[in-house]
A and B are shown apart, each in its own frame.
Chain A
């Protein structure tokens, strides 16, 4: 970093020595961060590296505990609330959409700042005109009278951006805005970001997709474990360089090879599953095998897994465990059959966020062992063993899961099934919202589990992941199985061909 007086003058934002702690544990250790006018800056790091925390300090959601924020040459008070920060021209778009489904597009954009007529009533005409103007700037033609509920996800994202730039914004923070977008929608958003940047608006862009960063960003800053690591010009680095900076070690991509165990040793077999979303689906998985389900959104993969786990009841079809037909009518039946499911949405179905790591990782163990009381000693050794084995980064086993980062939450969701010795483990999108480093750790864990004899079924929409981790891939298209490929036969084109069924 160059330290010249002239240089500091052109900086739009200068954060210096930012510190922040949660529950006595420091998560940001004096981070420095600077952004210039009109710059698109990527902010990278593993889950738990402190990206979101840093941005929440900036936008006034978290109170900073050390350091200072200088914006346009003026210091922003450490106690400033989000509204105050917004009035300076800093807007943040959060990972989850923050829109009111039942209000119209215009009402959402101007929420709490509705233009008024002289008599104090809302001036809807002006509100709609302004909304159209804002949306046009984004190249979007949505009728501002439409309730947000009726919009597509990409359109909702545009409304969020329209809302953000309606505050005469100079600095826009975007926290993983493309997580819900398709490739084409992402491209539209990147063009939009470039336009905003040309208008002099600086953008801080948080993403786990390194390809996107090299596509759209000018510079990239990497954080690791709550500390500033480096800032690079995107033109001068490769994706691999960024990944290496993030994890502090080399990342290898390699495929795992074909299944080498006993072909006849089938643990789970699913036959002829049919209902309104699924059409005569068959598959089987052997002891120690890792298979992936690939396909486009809506192919019925999650639904199929829900059938296996007893949450969904099909019209036809049977599940065989080690050759014997079993009746799986509920999650508890599945657990009795030693089938585990790490769900797609850990916040909704995977974890009880307000309870601690110990409880969350032992629920299934307790369900499977007899006795009225929880076995305190066994519970503790279970939990400590998992924290150690899965490298769960936490303040202790008593920490609420809500306070863990995404990757570590995912490890707790996984721990639940490892403690209870599942024979078949289904993982639905196991690395969604998980960064490169933790992702590699999870792959490593999956490989070890398979080696120890567990049968692994993964549902994944990430082609790289499928290529990386699976010994066999089953491809589905609109509720139907369209093909199976061994690792040695696999390539991205073949999978895509089956997934689109052309």
Chain B
């Protein structure tokens, strides 16, 4: 009997492990396949480059994971990145031309984060107070934000000041690890602890799983939802700082274009359910790295960039198929 119990527990544990971390196994299989298909792929420089490039979408995806677990979605992220990024670049130009190059950088960054978090707050308030579907609200807010950037930049590109203190944020490395990736991992670790260990994290799952039951348990459903939208807004602001610092420029028409879809893709590939109530940040990290690898391999293998959508679509379908057994 005891033996049987132990065996059952083993089966349960291993099936649970596979259920939760199948994506990690798939990740290593992808690494292996890529290494065989293009040996250059495995060079450290290339790998670090992938991490640097994919971290911007990755940071948005980390925030997006919270929104999706709570049963929402944010389609305004790309435009939010452009809006808050434009403010950042414009202010950076102003303060650096004014004198002391290092210190005042903090002001544009704070403004950038405030704007992006503010847009998230607006999304959350409209969704909860007007009781409108998140899909529509964030789509509309995104369109408005994009239009504001276009007007602000006159539809063109605004250049910032290419001073090293600024450009190093996105282009620098610490112990040869790209700073954007360090930022992404730091954020992910902090938010992972919050998601899995804090009351707030548990409520996010509860709200996504059954809003009514959450409300009857005394959880302030609206507040939880608004915070998740503010969180993805904040993460998008962080991503904006990095994106802007890499180019020291903002392009009204293309900055952050389609980043929301890339981020949602990373979250889904990472195994978070679009129905809400289930998900994990570890998956999202693996998810955005896989997306980075796919982008990189397209170049390595000389595949037309026009086909990248086809490949990414296939990746989404494959990932969802793989995880279908979870439900």
Interface residues of A (CB under 8 A from B): 23-25, 309, 311, 331-332, 334-335, 341, 343, 348-355, 359, 363-364, 366-368, 371-374, 376, 395, 416
- Do A367 and B197 touch (CB < 8 A)? no
Q: How far is the CB of B7 from chain A (nearest CB, A)?
A: 8
A355 to B220, Cβ gap below 8 A?
no
Distance in angstroms between the alpha carbons of A32 and B47 in the assembled complex? 60
Q: List 26 A-B contacts (CB under 8 A).
A: A23-B15, A24-B9, A25-B8, A25-B12, A331-B217, A331-B218, A332-B218, A334-B218, A341-B216, A343-B216, A349-B213, A349-B215, A350-B213, A351-B210, A351-B213, A354-B209, A354-B278, A355-B209, A355-B277, A359-B205, A359-B206, A363-B202, A363-B219, A373-B197, A374-B197, A395-B12
B131 within 8 A of A: no
Question: Does B216 contact A373, Cβ atoms closer than 8 Å?
Answer: no
**B46 to chain A: which residues have CB within 8 Å?**
none
> Which residues of the other chain, A, contact B206 by a CB distance below 8 angstroms?
352, 355, 359, 363
Please tell me if the beta carbons of B12 and A352 are within 8 angstroms of each other in the complex: no
- The B interface, classified by DSSP as helix, strand, loop or mixed, is helix
A341: min CB distance to chain B, Å? 7
Tell me which residues across on chain A come within 8 A of B198, comparing CB atoms.
Answer: 372-374
Contacts of B215 in A (CB 8 A): 331, 349
Sort chain B's interface into a size bin.
20 to 34
Closest A residue by C-beta to B276: A354
Residue on A with the closest CB to B214?
A352
Contact indicator per residue, chain B 202-242, by CB within 8 Å of chain A (1) or not (0): 11011001101111111110000000000000000000000
Q: Does B102 contact A (CB under 8 A)?
A: no
Q: Considering the chains assembled together, what is the distance between the CA atoms of A332 and B223 in angstroms? A: 13
Write the nearest CB–CB distance from A377 to chain B, whole angstroms: 12
User: Bound state CA distance, A25 and B12, in angstroms?
Assistant: 9
Q: Which of A335, A350, A354, A371 contacts B199 (CB 8 A)?
A: A371
Question: What is the bound-complex CA distance between A487 and B266, given in angstroms?
Answer: 62
In the complex, chain B residues whose CB is within 8 Å of the CB of A364: 217-218
- Report the 10 A-B pairs with minimum CB-CB distance, sorted nearest first: A352-B209, A363-B217, A24-B11, A335-B218, A354-B277, A332-B218, A352-B210, A367-B218, A24-B8, A24-B12
Q: Which residue in chain B gives the minimum CB-CB distance to A359?
A: B202
CB closest chain-B residue, reference A379: B202
Q: Which residues of the other chain, A, contact B15 by a CB distance below 8 angstroms?
A: 23-24
- A372 CA to B9 CA in the complex, in Å? 32
Cα A350 to Cα B202 in complex, Å, equals: 16
Report the Cα distance A28→B147, complex, angstroms: 61
A334 and B205 CA atoms in complex are apart in Å by: 23
What distance in Å separates the Cβ of B273 from its nearest Cβ neighbour in chain A?
8
The interface centre, meaning the residue of A331, A335, A352 with most chain B CB atoms within 10 A of its CB, is A352
Q: Which of B182-207 contact A (CB under 8 A)?
A: 197-200, 202-203, 205-206
Q: Residue B220 contacts which of A332, A354, A416 (CB distance < 8 angstroms)?
A: A332
Once the chains are docked, how many angstroms separate the CA of A83 from the CA of B15?
29
Instruction: Decide if B216 touches A350 in the complex (CB within 8 Å).
Output: yes
- Closest-by-CB residue of A relative to B277 is A354
Q: B13: nearest residue on chain A (CB-CB)? A: A24
Closest beta carbon of chain A to B11's beta carbon, Å: 4
Give min CB distance, B17 to chain A, whole Å: 13
Residue numbers in B under 8 Å from A348 (CB-CB): 210, 212-213
Chain A residue numbers with a CB within 8 Å of B202 are 359, 363, 366, 374
Bound together, the chains give a CA A164 to CA B200 distance in angstroms of: 47
The answer for the CA separation of A187 and B217 in the assembled complex, in Å, is 39
Within 8 A of A (CB), among B54-73: none
Besides the known contacts A331-B216, A352-B213, A363-B219, 20 further A-B residue pairs in the complex with CB atoms under 8 A apart: A24-B15, A309-B216, A331-B218, A335-B218, A348-B212, A350-B213, A351-B210, A352-B210, A354-B210, A354-B277, A354-B278, A355-B277, A359-B205, A359-B206, A364-B218, A367-B218, A372-B198, A372-B200, A374-B202, A376-B197
Contacting residues, chain B, for A363 (C-beta < 8 A)? 202-203, 206, 214, 217-219
Residue from B199, B203, B210, B218 with most neighbouring chain A CB atoms (10 Å) = B218
User: Does the CB pair A311–B197 fall under 8 Å?
Assistant: no
Chain A residue with the shortest CB-CB distance to B11 = A24
Looking across the interface, which residue of chain A has its beta carbon closest to that of B273? A354
A351 to B215, CA, bound (A): 11
Given A372-B199, A372-B200, A374-B198, CB of A353 within 8 Å of CB of B217:
no
Contact A311 B216 (CB under 8 A): yes
Query: Which B residues are CB-close (under 8 A) to A368?
Result: 218
Whether A355 contacts B205 in the complex (CB less than 8 A), given A24-B11, A371-B199, comes out as yes
User: Shortest Cβ distance from B226 into chain A, in angstroms?
Assistant: 16
User: Closest CB-CB distance, A198 to chain B, in whole Å?
Assistant: 43
Alpha-carbon distance between A376 and B198 when the two chains are bound, in angstroms: 10
Chain A, residue nearest B9 (CB): A24
Separation of A331 and B214 alpha carbons in the complex (Å): 10
Q: A361 to chain B: closest CB distance in Å?
A: 10
A367 proximity list for chain B (CB < 8 A): 199, 217-219
Which residue of A is nearest B12, CB measured? Answer: A24
Which B residue's beta carbon lies closest to that of A333?
B218
Residue with the greatest number of chain A CB neighbours at <10 A, chosen from B9, B198, B200, B217: B217
Cβ of A49 to closest chain B Cβ, rounded Å: 20
Q: Which of A309, A355, A359, A367 has the most CB of B within 10 A?
A: A355
Distance in Å: Cβ of A20 to nearest Cβ of chain B: 14
- Shortest A227–chain B CB gap in Å is 16
Q: How far is B218's CA from A502's CA once the two chains are assembled, in angstroms?
A: 40
Decide: A352 and B199 in contact? CB cutoff 8 A: no
Chain A residues with Cβ below 8 Å from B12 are 23-25, 395
Interface members, chain B 15-37 (any A CB < 8 Å): 15
CA distance A311 to B215 in the complex (A): 9
Instruction: Name which residue of chain A comes closest to B197, CB basis.
Output: A373
**Is there an interface contact between B216 and A352, defined as CB atoms closer than 8 Å?**
no
